[in-house]
């Protein structure tokens, strides 16, 4: 019988890594996360020589950040979309710059991984060893996929990776194929909560930006470089075409990758027109210009863990006309979370922020209702649900919601790292 071993992502967000075994072995994602001291944590070990393939759902480090480890001594085939490797290249370089002393691979291993990659598009069907794979649009970030796996014995698995069922300004929602699924491996980042309607969040966000700028203030939007920055700039450029928009940090390079892979966008012309209205900050003079008059500055990092967003915060915090609008997830120990809770960041000399501070739910993960709908889509054949990539509360909340909604006998697992699950 097929089995699943949870190498990472069990009752935790990030470090996604699932080993599928049915005669041969396939690895779905191999990511990292960080402990409370911001040190990288790797998934449980698997020997690269034992793998028939690796399939990567998307470019975020919590799904691909440990994969280069497989190329220190091995050369397994690895499957992903082209945008995934391009975005991951930037993220891994930045990660190694900050964490090389705590990581067992070097950039040369990432190059070896790239050299062993087989690139797929949405809808691609691949046979690798005794496995059959189909890659579907997951709607999370550019090039993100949900991965269907059929094993040697005919068992059918759908791994969601990180998935978003809601259309955004840059991406369509997840596009799941009408296949038969025996086992669903689903993320649960927001498995115990429902996101507010997207249009309502966008309307409120645009209203606040307009209000701040009309009063002569500057809006700082600390944002994830991948996905969130591109979505926010597209929204603002289309809804507030008279507003100056500046983009600073790694988001500049990611914007270029989005431009190079327009076929993955929901509406390429919408995005390209938006970019025409954006000023990319390249030096100190550009930063001074961005701070000089009313406008919007979209800057990395989204949780205020570093990058230009912290520098802008220092300059803007003391003026009540300005605003800091957080649009990214704020982990409990992050500076962004601290700013929301305490109103300041004394470690950078901002003891009290006079500027307006608000958080907006622009999540690129499906909420509980979206995740339950995915399970419903495959309910006619579904026998097992394995819930990963969520803390214990979110994972158990999703388990209860699926059980209540589907109303049928299902094997629902909320595993820990290291657990093995036999599925039939």
Q: pLDDT value at position 346?
A: 87
Q: What is the pLDDT of residues 133-180, one digit of tens each?
A: 999 999 999 999 999 999 999 999 999 999 999 999 999 999 999 999
% pLDDT > 90, the chain: 90
Work out whether strand 295-299 and strand 323-326 pair parallel, antiparallel, or are unpaired: unpaired
- 261: closest CA among 136, 57, 83, 56? 83
First to last CA, the chain: 6
Give the global pTM.
0.96
Of 39, 58, 214, 241, whose CA–CA distance to 146 is shortest? 58
Contacts of residues 149-153 at CB distance under 8 Å and 24 or more positions apart, as own/partner, are 149/20, 149/26, 149/28, 149/55, 151/2, 151/20, 151/22, 151/23, 152/22, 152/23, 152/24, 153/1, 153/2, 153/22, 153/23
Instruction: State mean pLDDT over 395-399.
Output: 97
- pLDDT-derived band at 336 (thresholds 50, 70, 90) equals confident
Mean pLDDT over 284-288 rounds to 93
Q: What is the mean pLDDT of the chain?
A: 95
3-class state of residue 27 by DSSP:
strand
Cα separation, 233 vs 271, whole angstroms: 9
pLDDT 10s digits, 51-110: 999 999 999 999 999 999 999 999 999 999 999 999 999 999 999 998 989 999 999 999
Kindly list the distances between the CA atom of residue 30 and the CA atoms of 48, 56, 73, 111, 166, in Å, as whole numbers in the listed order: 12, 8, 16, 16, 26
All structural domains of the chain? 3-193+364-422 (3.60.15.10), 198-359 (3.40.50.10890)
pLDDT band at 7 (very low <50, low <70, confident <90, very high): very high
What pLDDT is stored for residue 295 in this prediction? 97
H or E stretch covering 335 = helix 335-342
pLDDT per position as a tens digit, 366-379: 999 999 999 999 99
What per-residue confidence (pLDDT) applies to 302?
Answer: 87
- Selection from 411, 34, 399, 7 nearest residue 187 by Cα: 399
């Amino acid at each position: 019988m097929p089995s699943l071993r949870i190498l990472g992502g069990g009752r935790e967000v990030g470090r996604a890594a699932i080993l599928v075994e049915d005669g041969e072995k396939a690895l779905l994602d191999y990511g990292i996360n960080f402990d409370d001291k911001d040190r990288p944590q790797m998934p449980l070990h698997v020997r690269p020589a034992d793998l028939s393939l690796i399939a990567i759902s998307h470019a975020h480090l919590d799904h691909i950040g440990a994969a280069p480890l497989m190329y220190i001594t091995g050369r397994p085939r690895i499957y992903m979309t082209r945008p995934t490797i391009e975005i991951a290249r930037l993220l891994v370089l930045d990660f190694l710059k900050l964490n090389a002393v705590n990581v067992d691979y070097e950039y040369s291993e990432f190059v070896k991984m790239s050299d062993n990659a087989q690139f797929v598009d949405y809808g691609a069907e691949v046979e690798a060893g005794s496995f059959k794979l189909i890659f579907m649009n997951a709607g999370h970030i550019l090039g993100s996929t949900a991965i269907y796996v059929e094993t040697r014995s005919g068992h059918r698995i759908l791994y969601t990776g990180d998935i978003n069922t809601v259309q955004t300004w840059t991406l369509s929602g997840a596009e799941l194929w009408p296949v038969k699924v025996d086992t669903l491996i689903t993320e649960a980042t927001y498995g115990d909560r429902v996101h507010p309607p997207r249009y309502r969040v966008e309307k409120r966000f645009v209203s606040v930006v307009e209000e701040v700028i009309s009063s002569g203030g500057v809006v700082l939007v600390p944002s994830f470089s991948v996905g969130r920055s591109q979505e926010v700039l597209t929204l603002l450029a289309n809804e507030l075409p008279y507003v100056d928009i500046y983009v600073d940090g790694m988001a500049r390079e990611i914007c270029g990758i989005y431009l190079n892979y327009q076929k993955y966008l929901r509406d390429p012309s919408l995005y390209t027109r938006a970019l025409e209205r954006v000023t990319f900050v390249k030096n100190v003079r550009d930063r001074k210009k961005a701070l000089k008059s009313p406008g919007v500055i979209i800057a990395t990092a989204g949780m205020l863990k570093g990058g230009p967003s912290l520098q802008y915060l220092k300059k803007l915090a003391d003026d009540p006309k300005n605003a800091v609008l957080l649009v990214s997830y704020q982990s409990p120990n992050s500076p962004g979370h601290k700013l929301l809770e305490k109103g300041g960041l004394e470690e950078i000399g901002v003891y009290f922020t006079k500027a307006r501070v608000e958080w907006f739910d622009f999540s690129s993960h499906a909420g509980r209702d979206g995740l339950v709908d995915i399970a419903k889509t495959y309910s006619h054949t579904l026998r097992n649900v394995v819930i990963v990539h969520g803390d214990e509360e979110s994972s158990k909340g999703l388990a209860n919601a699926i059980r209540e909604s589907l109303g049928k006998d299902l094997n629902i697992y909320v595993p820990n790292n290291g657990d093995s699950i036999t599925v039939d």
